Structures are given as C-alpha cells and as structure tokens.
Chains A and B, each alone.
Chain A
Amino acid sequence: MSADHDELRDPAPPALRADTTIDTLGLFCPVPIIRTAEAMKRIAAGSVLEVISDDRVILIDMPAWCRSTGHRYLGARRSDGAFHLFVRKAEGART
C-alpha cells in the first residue's frame, strides 16, 4: 500500500476550500494530529480545516482520528510534495 494509493482512495473534491489551514511540514506523528485537535477546538462547527503535512502515514492516521472523534474526513490532495488533508468539524464532536 503506497501513499499514492491512499491519496487516490480519498481524493478531496477539487473545489473544496478550507476556512483555516495549519502547516505541520517537517513534523512527525503524532504532532500533526495533536495540532489538528488543537485547531479544531478553535474553529466553528461546519468549518473546514486544511492540514498540510509531508508525513505520508497521516493519510492513515487522519481518517482514523476522524472516525474516533466524529469529525468528517473530506479527503486529501497532493501539491508541491506535501499532502493537504481536509476535515470538517462536526457538531457535537467527541473531542
């Protein structure tokens, strides 16, 4: 299973735009997830967070984190050697 495989499995819709973006380039697990959780606490329900990461395994961890917390994983795209992952904050999410 390659990172590209995961990316193709959950491609973000091309028109999707984020309300807030965080840059976690150069950071490895689990720091990007910790930063994502912190950022989600600061945005309103329904808003979309974009997480930029160069850690390919985040394509496994982010959907798992979303399934556990109740937020909605919207997919990822690749640009300039980095992954851009999109998450919509759920109403009444568990964390």
Chain B
Amino acid sequence: MTAETGRRVKAIGLISGGLDSTLAARVLVDQGIDVVGLHFSTGFCMNDHRRALDRPGEDPRRMRNEGLRAGADLQIPIEVLDAGEAYLKMVLNPRHGYGKRANPCIDCRIYMIHGAADYMREHGGDFIFTGEVLGQRPMSQHMQALRLIEKECGIEGYLLRPLSAHHLPPTRPEELGWVDRDRLMGISGRSRKEQMALSERWGLKDYPQPSGGCCFLADESFARRFHDKRQHTPVDAIRREEMILLKVGRHFRLSAGVKIIVARDASENQFLARFAGLGWSFEALDTGSPLTLAEGEPDEPTRRLIASITARYSDRRNQPLVEVAARHGDMEERLMVPPVADATLEGWRI
C-alpha cells in the first residue's frame, strides 16, 4: 500500500516477453504490487515479420506475441502500444548512436521509458520498472547507461530494475517502503544461469530463446542493408515501407540511385507483391521466378541487368536466355536476357 493513498502500489513495466522482463514483473507481483505491462510494437520484431510472411510449416509459437504470452502466464494486463513513426525517426537519428549493428539501444530504452512515463501520467501508477540486468548488454546495460537512461527520462529515483536492484542505489519506491528491497535481486553480467534458475523455481518454462534475438536492428544482415539505406537516401525521406522491405529477400545495390530486392521463396514473393505498385518489378515468364522489386529509376541497361539477375534466380537459371517481364504501373516490357554470372553478382550484394 502507498502511505499517501492507502491503495495498492501500481507499477508500470516494459514487457518484451523475454525472460528478464517476465522475471522482473514476477518479482513485483510476488510482493503484492499491481503490475501493468507495456509491450511496444516497434516494427523491427522478427516474430512479427515471420508472421507477415507466414511460411508453410512455420511453428505458430515462433510467431506469437511474447508480451501477451508473458502477460497470460503472470496474469497481468498487457497494453500493446504501436511505437509508430516517432520510433522510426529515433531509429534513423539516434542521439546516442548505434551499437555494433543498427541497434540504437540507449535511445530505444529512453523512447520506451518515456512512453511508460507518459502512460503512467495518463493512467496512474507509482513507478516504472524494466527487466534490465547490469552488465548484460554492452551498449545499454552498463552502469553509466542505466543512469543516463533514467536521467534523460526525467524519472530519477522512480525507475526500478528488480533483477539488478542490489547493485544499484535504492529507488524511491524502495525508500518509501512500496517495494521490499530485500526481496529484489542482485543479478549482473551476461550469464543467464540465475535467471534460468528463477524461471525453473517459478515454473516459467515457456519463454523465447535465445534472449535478445528478436530485434532486426541487432541483426548483422539487416544492419548492412539499413546502413546502406541511410547512406543512399536522405534520412528524413526514409519511409516505414522501406524499412519493412529491408527484412525481405536478397538485396543488391546496382548504383547510387538503384537498389533491387529479389525474393527468396514463394512467401517472400507474396510479401513483396504488396509493394510491387511502388516502382519497377521484374519476373521471369513461364517458369518459377522470384519477384524482384527495384528502388529508384533504372534506365534501360539497368533494367536489362535487373532482368538478368531475376533470371539467375529463376528455375531457368541454366538456360542461355530467359524472358523476363519488367513492369511499372500499366507498362510492361519483355526482355530476353542471359542469367547473370554468380561472380559478377557478388559485387553488388548488400
């Protein structure tokens, strides 16, 4: 209970559905605290993308929303929030820079904790918590970063990290007696042994593996495409759809102004078809063929090259010539081209 109001203490938490955020919530639930989980949909979640592709035979459990699963397991309400355009702007212009890939982890945490603070102001709540573990992630979970995040969010003293609390100064909820510090944790570092032992003890067995592997921004291949996009497009002009397309297919940069995406299977063909109206698209005729989308305005020789690349990934890749349709709006041209040689192709791959 809060001494001021006599009502139950209410905590607002960031719940990705990973093991750490699930355990952090459980620690507080066990203390009789009302917990509301916020699950941000960023547009960069691999589960969500698998779901949009919906490949035949894909295990639905690999595509479920882990935040909702955690909420169900813990019996706590989960609010799913669309991070939207503001999040994309942050991803493209992170004040604290990127990690090893395209991961703006510090700005991401600040964005979400700001969001949680706004939610708390609107819906009520006494403090915010996260599943952050001191020293677990090189960019955003060292002591300096944890302090910076708290300071920049303007909630100093009201951001609790239950799993690493014993390594951090007491927060106001602890000082005020809303939270029993003795029942918080002292976990640190990259080993997940303690978390796994806790999950075993509490019967929480159905959590995603591996931890932190769900974000495209931390993926090496995605990051190459992301930084290529930033390099060749004015950052303020990059649209959400362009980010979505970075997740799909094989990407080749043919010139500063032209990039193509070649689908890898039928599911990606179907996915890319939704975007085919945005510019030039290519498809080998009368055979199994990937759909190829071009970004930019390819001239005639470049269109022939794109047709050759499309032919290379078609079922007629061993034929000397393949007929490929190049389409733009209502216009269609047919090109007879040889499939491009693999060695040539590699120079353009992103």
A→B interface (CB under 8 Å):
1-3, 6, 28-31, 33-34, 37, 55-57, 59-61, 63-65, 67-70, 93-95
Contacts and interface: CB of A to CB of B under 8 A. Distances in A.
B64 A68 contact: no
A72 B65 CA distance: 19
A70 B51 contact: no
Contacts of A29: 41, 47-48, 51, 63, 65
A94 B65 CA distance: 19
A30 B61 contact: no
A59 B64 CA distance: 9
A94 B82 contact: no
Contacts of B64: 57, 60-61, 64
Contacts of B48: 28-30
Name the interface size band of chain B. 20 to 34
A36 B51 CA distance: 18
Interface stretch (B73-81, B232-240, B257-265): B73-81
A34 B38 CA distance: 12
B36 A64 contact: no
Given A3-B60, A56-B60, A95-B77, A67 B72 contact: yes
Interface in B52-85: 52, 54, 59-61, 63-65, 67-69, 71-72, 74-82
Interface SS, A side = helix
Contacts of A56: 54, 60
Contacts of B81: 34
Nearest to A93: B77
Contacts of B51: 28-29, 55, 57
B26 interface: no
17 contacts: A6-B60, A30-B39, A30-B48, A30-B80, A33-B65, A33-B80, A34-B82, A55-B54, A64-B72, A65-B68, A67-B75, A68-B68, A68-B77, A69-B71, A94-B36, A94-B76, A95-B78
A94 to B, nearest CB: 4
Contacts of A31: 41, 82
B65 A61 contact: yes
Nearest to A94: B77
Given A30-B48, A69-B78, 11 more contacts: A28-B48, A29-B48, A30-B68, A34-B80, A37-B79, A37-B80, A57-B63, A64-B65, A64-B69, A64-B72, A65-B71
A70 B61 contact: no
Contacts of A61: 64-65, 68
Contacts of A2: 60
A66 B39 CA distance: 15
Contacts of B79: 37, 95
Q: Which 4 A-B pairs have the closest CB atoms?
A: A68-B71, A94-B77, A67-B72, A64-B72
